[in-house]
Structure 1
Amino acid sequence: MLYQNLADRLQSLIHEKVYEVGSRLPGVRQLSQQHEVSVSTAVSACRELEQRGLLEARPRAGYFVRQPPALRDAPRPGTASQKPRVITGQSRVLTLVQAVNNPDVVNLGAAVPNADYLPVAIVERAYRHVLRTQRRRCMGYEFPPGAPELRQQIARRMAGYQCKVTADEVLVTNSCQEAIAIALKLLTQPGDTVALESPTYYGLLQVVESLGLKALEIPTDPVHGVSIEALELALERWPVAACVLVTNFSNPLGVCMTDQRKQALLKCLYKYQVPLVEDDIYGDLPFNGRRPSPVKRWDTQGLVYYCSSVSKTLSAGMRTGWLIPGAQHEKARHLQFVSTVSVNTPAQLALAHFLQHGHYERCLRQSASDYARAVARMIDRVTQLFPADTRVSRPAGGFVLWVELPEAVNTLSLMEQALDVGVSFAPGELFSASGKFSNCMRLNCAVRWDARLERALIALSRLL
């Protein structure tokens, strides 16, 4: 990639102290002229270096060379399941998410971005616009499949990812999690087995548990993503009804599969005719400025059920997501209707207005840059404060960090003590159907960086 080559050249200049720590890099226009590349390539290179922890973006000032963080080893991949398992114990998640609304607790647990990272003012203007211009419509239902103008905007975004999707194929849902639940209802029956990454987002485990399904854990590497080799062995051995994966910036590892691995994954699933429920909720938040393709891009057989939302990019409270269920769109609409009747009308219309007027891309660039800085900052503090043999993930996007602690640490027990001192995190066992990762934790990095957060991290390190 051209921007990566430029990033490598600039990194060499930083290591050679041509650009010293604390100094300002030339502006992106000057960099583009010096290195004979486009301005967009120069911007992507700077964002790549920001993700590597070498640059820091300062508002209205440019990019500055920062002290590179001390590197820690990446967490170790999980192990494969011996057999499909019934999921239990996910009720503890409610305690975790309730801490978000507790003003006495610093939320490092639930993956909910602080409002400082979201375009609050622009979203507010979009709501005001639709309430002023379509107030009568806002008082009624937008029955499934959802507001036509929103579905049209989503189809256009999918076209930008090189996915052939029409507005009629889009179903608006109450969040990405409902989209996943509807997809699994279309594809499974109680007692069926679903293949999942390990570790995986606990919300997916909750959906699987609520539908009476069994989970088959597939080991996932923090650098390369889910093991396709292990997945193929599992598909040979067990009757898997569906596979649920976050292929772009997985939660909690933050890993993004390469295009080659995504295509290999799809080839494997085609071989066994196993549908993929693709959760792409973090796909719009790359640290290097380049939006990765979803697996849906290469799907020619309709086996990929695509799910996403704006909960991590615009507003968690908007509760607006979508599902592209292929040929089963009529049945999917019925399931959505009997579940919640419809999705919030003002939210749908506000989001459609937001997308139509080009605000989204600009906001995404800012959010992704802010998240990259927040993750780099959290890596710095974890490296400085936590035990020396702690392992830390290297997310390529999103805003969560996976931390592997010494084996003697039990993070489920630690969580109770941490809540007592006013800090929450997500213990590792919540990310496994079989209770693995008991010495791991996930940290939400999209928090307000202030003295209160610093005190919380120090308190957590003392407990460790």
Structure 2
Amino acid sequence: MSKSFIYDEIANKIAFQIRNGILKAGDKLPSVRTLCQEHGISMNTAKRIFLELEAQSLIESKPQSGFFVSKLLYLNLPLPEISRPSLIANNTEPNELITKVYSNMGREGVTLFSISVPSGNLLPLAKLKKEILYATRELREGGTEYEPLQGNVKLRRMIAARSLAWGGNLHEDDLITASGGMNSISFCLMALGKPGDTIAMESPCYPGTFQLAISLGFKVLELPTHPVTGLEIEALKKAIPKINLCFLVPNFNTPLGSCMPDEHKKEITALLAKHGIPLIEDDVYGDLYFGSQRPKCCKSFDLEGNVLWCSSVSKTLAPGYRVGWIAPGKYKDKLLKLKLVHSIASVSLIQEAVGNFLKTGRYENHLQQLRRTLKNNYQNYVHTIAEHFPEGTKTSRPQGGLGLWLELNKQTDTTELYDLAIKKNISIAPGRMFTLQNQFQNCMRLCIGLPWSDDIKFKLKQLGSLAKMIR
């Protein structure tokens, strides 16, 4: 067994025990020396495990005493339930609700807890402007010519280089660029499926994805999902005979923020490959981890070329730039043909600018700061929620990403809460948005990508007061 696997296995096991209440706040953990003896690992590996858990705010060190399960307030809030959707494909879209919530984008004076993107105040806008100017000088004809069909070479090269961090080991020729993450997913769905096919997804899931699938004539099968570890593998196994495609967000999916353990990713990847079912993997949140190490992807374990790995900079750098990409594995020719028909080429100027931003190291510097901010925001949000929301409120415990999932009392209708909150210029994303079924009415997602301030804290307090009124 490799050292990195042992490290991940032990760290994930302790994290699971803490998040699920097996280890309680204040419990003392084994010493570094004891961990070494119990698992046959080195002192450095044991220290690294504790540092990783500390980085996730799960444990805290006390001088001369050792490591203890953190007593942070958010650890006392219960976890939301594992979702239990009907295992029958459905296509009842909450269109009116989705339209109502997303119509708030761009409205001045509204606090957008509902839109899962980082605030412009957290993005390196001035540096990006310089990269655009630089790209117009560097590209032939100022960037007015068509790009190669696969997309900007510099961008693909940089994405491939970054894939080494999560075991992707991609080459620039393995990648195809697209106009944002949703465009990448759209190409994958059109290339691999046909009207009437059934696609499996996590439940809850991002509404744009199931809206896209339904618009293409797919049936959507929602599967049970754990708020910490993601898709329930046994449910997927039972669904295998019913499905033609699978779409997953293994790393910090929205709205739950769950992150699949590596062993789950490996098992799911092998299971789907065995049955010839393509896996479309959306890794748009993968770079927004709160711990010390970027999580692996299902693509890391793809031996058959059966995983189509999609991502973009929409959640990390520039939502409006619409820069995305796909590593389509053995389906590359199908994707290239589809891109040629639908878009001919990508936007060369923007892709060159993003490629250069990655090449200079500015992207990684920006990500380090963004990750710290999001982690602090998450903790501030949950502390405020614990103090001001109704008793019994449950919150997810994301290990990265931009979303926080709340589960309120069963009698609380978050669509009604939305109507009350928007009158105070607060926009939330009601839970019913994230499903095609009659569920999650008492849940909501909050975006943690807004800079923390006294005003944001006040808005959360107001939201908690409104929730108590409904109850």
TM range (shorter): 0.7 to 0.9
Q: Would you say how many aligned residue pairs link Structure 1 and Structure 2?
A: 430
Could you tell which deviates more after superposition, 447-456 or 317-326? 447-456
Q: Distance in 2 between matches of 1:392 and 1:214?
A: 30
Equivalent in the alignment of 2:64: none
Counterpart of 1:121 in structure 2: which amino acid?
A
Residue 242 (structure 1) aligned with residue 245 (structure 2): yes
1:211-230 equivalent positions in 2, closer than 5 A: 211-230=216-235
SS in structure 2 of the partner of residue 244 of structure 1 = strand
Report what 2:73 is aligned to. Answer: 69
Give the letter for the 1:245 counterpart.
L
**1:50-61 superposed matches below 5 A:** 50-52=55-57
1:458 aligns with 2:461: yes
Q: Matches of 2:294 and 2:457 in 1, distance apart?
A: 32
Q: Distance in 1 between matches of 2:455 and 2:344?
A: 42
Residue in structure 1 matched with residue 403 of structure 2 by the alignment: 400
Which residue in 2 is equivalent to 1:61? none
Distance 1:336 1:412, change over 3 A: farther
Structure 2 SS opposite 1:83: coil
RMSD: 2.9
In the alignment, the residues of structure 2 paired with residue 164 and residue 463 of structure 1 have an alpha-carbon distance, to the nearest angstrom, of 49
103, 123, 126: which is aligned to 2:128? 123
Q: Secondary structure of 2:428's match?
A: strand
2:370 maps to 367
1:319 to 313, 322, 329: 322
CA offsets 1:420-443 (integer angstroms, 9 cap, x no match): 110011110111121311110000
2:114 alignment partner, one of 109, 114, 117: 109
Q: Which residue of 1 aligns with 2:199?
A: 194
Letter matched to residue 95 of structure 2: Q
Question: How far 1:247 sits from its partner (Å)?
Answer: 0.6
- 1:270 is aligned to 273
Q: Which moved more, 1:333-342 or 1:354-363?
A: 333-342
* 1:230 aligned partner, one-letter code: A
Where does residue 67 of structure 2 map in the other structure?
none
Match of 1:97 in 2: 102
Counterparts in 2 of 1:221 and 1:15: CA distance versus 1, 3 Å: closer
In the superposition, relative to structure 1, how do residues 131 and 355 fare at CA in structure 2: closer, same or farther (>3 Å)? Answer: same
Which amino acid is the alignment partner of residue 463 of structure 1?
L
Task: Give unpaired runs (5+ residues) of structure 1.
Answer: 18-34, 56-65
1:21-420 pair list within 5 angstroms: 48-52=53-57, 68-70=72-74, 71-134=76-139, 136-236=141-241, 238=242, 240-420=243-423
Mapped to 2, the partners of 1:145 and 1:90 lie a distance apart of: 34
**Structure-1 separation of matches of 2:56 and 2:164:** 27
The residue identity in structure 2 corresponding to 1:282 is Y
Q: Separation in 1 of the partners of 2:92 and 2:174?
A: 32
Q: Please tell me the residue identity of whatever aligns with 1:82.
A: L
Q: 1:246 to 1:451 in 2, by over 3 A?
A: same
Task: Please list every run of at least 4 consecutive aligned residues from structure 1 whose deviation after the TM superposition is greater than 4 angstroms.
Answer: 2-5, 14-17, 35-38, 44-48
1:163 Cα deviation from its structure 2 partner: 2.2
The unaligned stretches of length 5 or more in structure 2 are 1-6, 29-41, 61-69
Q: 1:16 to 1:328 in 2, by over 3 A?
A: closer
1:132 Cα deviation from its structure 2 partner = 3.2
Distance, in Å, in 1 between the alignment partners of 2:380 and 2:373 is: 11
Q: Which amino acid aligns with 2:424?
A: V
Contact 1:425/1:442 (CA < 8 Å) preserved in 2? yes
Q: CA deviation at 1:116?
A: 2.4
Contact 1:426 1:441 in 2 (8 A): yes
